[in-house]
Structure formats: C-alpha cells, structure tokens
Amino acid sequence: MVGSLLEIDLEKLLLSIESRCGIKLPRRVIETYLDVDHDILFIRFKEPSNTEVGEPLEIKAIATLFTEEKTNEITALEIIGISELLKELNPDLKRS
C-alpha cells in the first residue's frame, strides 16, 4: 500500500497511463491528494470553469478521467486502488 505521495513518481505514472489508454494527459499538475486509508490518488490538472464529467479509463484499477463538459479539456484524474495500479503498470513507478 502507498503511504505517501513521495513514494509515487507522478511523471512516470502519467506516461504509463497515457501509453496504456492511448490518451494525452496534461503535464501541469496543480493539486494532488492521496487518501491512504482508501488507497485513492486524485490529480488535478486544471480548475474547471463549468461542469465536469467523468469517464472511466480502461485499466484494471478503477480510474476516472474528468473533463470540462463544454470544452472537453482534461481537468482531473482519480484512481481508486492506486497501489494495485502501480503494480499493474510498472513496479518502477513506486519509489523505494
């Protein structure tokens, strides 16, 4: 289980998700939150100006990509089961 944000290489994580899902994620991260008790990682790329909508990503872990409804710009990513996703994508994503 991930115990700290410092254990996650966010850049490699984003690259791995892009590769696996065939998407391009923003590189500007304005907020991250790790809920250790529930194994959830939330990454905010941009504050939405309007309504956000969520779409599931096609990976083993439960992951939702949030976009602005009107512009379709990616605003956030939420991963439930981040520990399992790190193992699934690549063991090198978790720092020792």
Q: Average pLDDT of 43-67?
A: 93
Does residue 24 carry a pLDDT above 60?
yes
Confidence of residue 2 (pLDDT cuts 50, 70, 90): confident
Distances 57 to 21, 74, 85, 94 between C-alpha atoms, Å: 7, 13, 12, 21
Q: Average pLDDT of 28-40?
A: 96
